[in-house]
Amino acid sequence: MTTAATLFSPFTLGPLRLENRIVASPMCQYSAVAGRVQPWHLVHLGGLALSGAGLVIAEATAVNAQGRITHGCLGLYDASHEAALGAILAQIRAFSPAALGIQLSHAGRRASARSIFERSKGESLPPDEGAWETVAPSALPVAPGWHRPRVMTGADIAQVIDDFAAAAARADRAGFDLVEIHAAHGYLLHQFLSPLTNRRTDDWGGDQPARNRLLIEVVRAVRAALPATRALGVRMTSTDWHPDGLTLDDAVALAQTLAALGVDYAVMSAGNLTPDVRIPAATPGHQVPFAARIRERAGLATMAVGQILDGPQAQAIVAEGGADLVAIARALLDDPRWAWHAAAALGVDIDYPPQYIRARPNNWTGYALVHGGAPEIASARQADRPPTALWDRPQATTDNPKGSAP
């Protein structure tokens, strides 16, 4: 890298050093079989790892079979899941310097649903399509026509805490650098947090501290299951967009508690708890103010999400203190080279995989014709610079299995 830009500067996330501030956000693929990764996941995650992002986080991964959203969702609840994920990580690491994380989740009442690949979406599975029993803090269906979840007992809650911890330990053994706990988007931990979905009167419901209890216990268990070398984050809701739901002030108080428990960062999302809530129209950067408030008030690093579209916008977010990192999802699906193009737009010279070196703006006279404008970046060839990234070093081959210099 020859030109300074905050977006492409290193960042330390707890114990984890990232090469830049760009994160490939978790994105469900609905392509697992019995919870196990398939060849598609290697293609998908491998592509994201070659995108230029400093961190790639694998999709929401269920901590037990009951917690899957759909039949096609990933799981990390047995040895075969751990081994399969570990094998994919090893292949990706041979060619990419990106840090690799995984998001752990339990869908609660939103489990046993049809996926986007089936004839309907946003519906629960009928019995003849393999539906399974779902659980939740209270017996409130997601929407009319959905199954009614079973109210969780104390034993159920204890088991879920153990399942999160066990999945985190498997993630560590598989080789993930980071674990993110999913406590947003209307899934189980969010269901316990919100008064809209938690009507309990025992120790796990009632006032806000009691509703926070499950997430706090999960965080404690996961932090204890991970070595100090692994980073820990939480995706949490900023607001339920409902007058009787969670607010940003609730999120600030919770984030302060999480920071004291060893959480390294928060991803600030919003909504998606109940279908009848009117959510404001999404506009570029519409959720950045949530991340900025948590960053300012809770002492946590934050990732901003929501309509972050290009490099200059992302650069402004991190440079002006809106968030420490930007998490990109749909924009990366649309443009798998999003980070490369962001760097060019900002005049930053970044490392490319050697196999793709001919596509760097200063190595391809057609770049300006395709993307518009001539980026003002250094003209030095990557081969003339010292090897600072994994993909600058010789790669492993059959004849050279360790990737050492011949």
DSSP designation for 393? S
* CA–CA dist 323, 6 (Å, integer): 11
Alpha carbon distances (Å) from 361 to 48, 203, 388, 389: 20, 59, 19, 19
User: Of the listed 77, 187, 265, 352, which one is catalytic?
Assistant: 187
27: alpha, beta or left? (left if phi > 0; alpha if psi -120 to 50): beta
Query: How do the residues of the chain divide into helix, strand and coil, expressed in percent and rounded to 5?
Result: 35, 15, 50
265 carries an active-site annotation: no
291 within 8 A of 306, measured Cβ to Cβ: no
Does residue 61 sit in helix, strand or coil? Answer: strand
Token digits for 247? 């607010």
206 within 8 A of 258, measured Cβ to Cβ: no
* CA–CA dist 20, 326 (Å, integer): 10
* CA–CA dist 362, 374 (Å, integer): 9
Pairing of strands 55-62, 99-105: parallel
Q: Where are the alpha helices (DSSP H) in 63-207?
A: 79-93, 154-174, 188-193
* CA–CA dist 224, 227 (Å, integer): 8
DSSP designation for 21? S
Catalytic residues: 187
